[in-house]
Amino acid sequence: MIITIVGGGSTFTPGIVTSIALRQKELGVTEVRLYDIDGERQSKVGVVVDWILKDMKSPIKLTVTTDKKEAYTDAKFIFAQMRVGKYAMREQDEKISLRHGVVGQETCGCGGMAYGLRTIFPMIEMIDDVEKYAAKDHWILNYSNPAAIVAIACQKLRPNARIINICDMPIAIIEMIGKCVGIKDYTNIDVDYFGLNHFGWFTRMEYEGRDVAAEIRAYAKEHGILLPKEHIEALKKHEATGDRHANQSWIKVWTNAARLMELCPEYIPNTYLTYYLFPKENVEHSDPNHTRANEVMETREKALFEGVDRYLATGEIDKKVFYAGAHGNFIADLAVALLGDEKKKFIIIEPNNGKVPNLPDDTMIELPAWITKNGPELIGIEPISTFYKGMIEQQNACEHLLVEGAIEGSYTKVLQAFALNKTVPSIEVAKEVLDEMIEANKAYWPELK
């Protein structure tokens, strides 16, 4: 059984392969293939992955390739995590946005739309290649961001593709909240959730009869932040916590999430909502010359590639660098669930089709679903109230317009998408940002007329 990782040159790849290797017997996996169009970068990541598999004494065969036929032939699972334009373009997305006084973020606002326009057609190409070469009963499990925009494009252009779009942010939030209230086995926290990707709300959290949502509201009121006490103490001492969601650029996010719970106490928000509901405050807090992209390049990216170079030169290993991250647990667990028939619950992104009765059927909704060997079965909820419905409809319209603009090559529709986004104050600002981004993305975006 073969698993192919698309975007094999990502610094998240070692963590994903570690998660696969830990589940080798459950998955029955015999081979992992890394596939990337950047062969030089991937070859270095491949050194790390090869070392990890040997260190774990895993029987899994490793193949590293830049050839799509070799990558996909007979593959059962395709884990997609492509980053078109890499961190250099993420940096441009964030800094162009901030220069115009709007949120500069990887997946939200103008930065997210820029990233989406780069990713839509490479994703469609990947789906077609997988259909051509992979096992007939394959599943594409897509981590590629921005997941909401990618999911809409896939549904419009390849509605019959065997793809499940996912995001590990809800489970990362559950894990962080669990730590806040002393729960270590966070995967056993049962939740209800609804929204769009990076744009949703937890309506219920329970653990062994405990109302975790009530506990976290009290915690947020006391501490003013949704980070656990040990993280707060470490940050006071300017120490790293070892958690990528607790780096410096995330501190304001977790603080704003606590404030958002105070202002809208009904539900627990996905942290990304703070970019939409506190856009002015986020811009004021941001450094337009040093964004999250720079942080990542200076930390995780730098540490991994310097670790590879040191290993190749001296044979010395820094296990903390090579084994960094649990990013792969969610996607690997989903693959396990698809192979079994135990009806495990995961939060995924699928067409609404009436599951939220007062939202359009073509909304790519993020909801809990039962996962079986036949695929996902979304769990429906009651109609949502006006505030949440209005927020979702505006964001959904923005994302659908962007995808339509990309498909049609329509400058007007893309401009309308930028103008409709809640992080953008006016259509004039939207035009300024869009025009500068068109210049920066000439090598990646479809032509807009």
pLDDT at 245: 65
pLDDT at 403: 98
Phi, psi for residue 222 in degrees, rounded to 5: -75, -40
Q: What is the pTM of this model?
A: 0.95
311 tagged catalytic: no
Residues annotated in the binding site for Mn(2+), as ranges?
A: 167, 198
Report whether the peptide linkage leading into residue 269 is cis, meaning its omega lies within 30 degrees of zero.
Answer: no
Contact yes or no for 29/47 (Cβ under 8 A):
no
Run of H or E including 411:
helix 411-420
- For residue 130, give every residue at least 6 positions away whose Cβ sits within 8 Å of its Cβ, in sequence order, or none: 72, 75, 78, 138, 140
Catalytic residue among 36, 168, 243, 333: 168
Active-site residue flag, 168: yes
Helix 229-236, helix 169-180: angle, nearest 10: 90
E strand or H helix at 269, and its extent?
Answer: strand 268-269
Binding positions for substrate: 90, 145, 292
Domains in the chain: ranges and CATH: 2-166+295-336 (3.40.50.720), 170-286 (3.90.110.10)
Per the CB < 8 A criterion, the answer to whether 156 and 94 are in contact is: no
Closest-CA residue to 39 (of 8, 78, 73, 70): 8
- Binding-site residues: 90, 145, 167, 198, 292
**pLDDT for the residue 341:** 75
Per-residue confidence (pLDDT) for residue 318, from 0 to 100:
84
Give the model's pLDDT for residue 283. 97
- pLDDT tens digit string along 315-346? 998 888 777 666 789 999 999 999 987 789 99
Asked whether the CA dihedral 345, 255, 185, 57 is positive or negative, the reply is positive
Kindly report the number of other CB atoms within 10 A of residue 393's CB atom: 14
User: Which residue type sits at 264?
Assistant: C
pLDDT of residue 240: 62
**pLDDT tens across 69-115, in order?**
999 999 999 999 999 999 999 999 999 999 999 999 999 999 999 99
The predicted structure's pLDDT at residue 343: 85
Q: Annotated catalytic residue: which of 35, 207, 219, 272?
A: 272
Cβ density class 67-83: b for 16+ within 10 Å, e for less: ebeebbeebbbbbbbbb
| CA distances to 3, 237, 371, 415 from 130, in Å | 12, 48, 22, 33
pLDDT beneath 50, residues of the chain: none
What's residue 234's pLDDT? 79
* Tens-digit pLDDT profile for residues 230-245: 888 877 776 666 666 6
* Three-class DSSP category at 173: helix
Q: Which residues share a beta bridge with 344?
A: 371
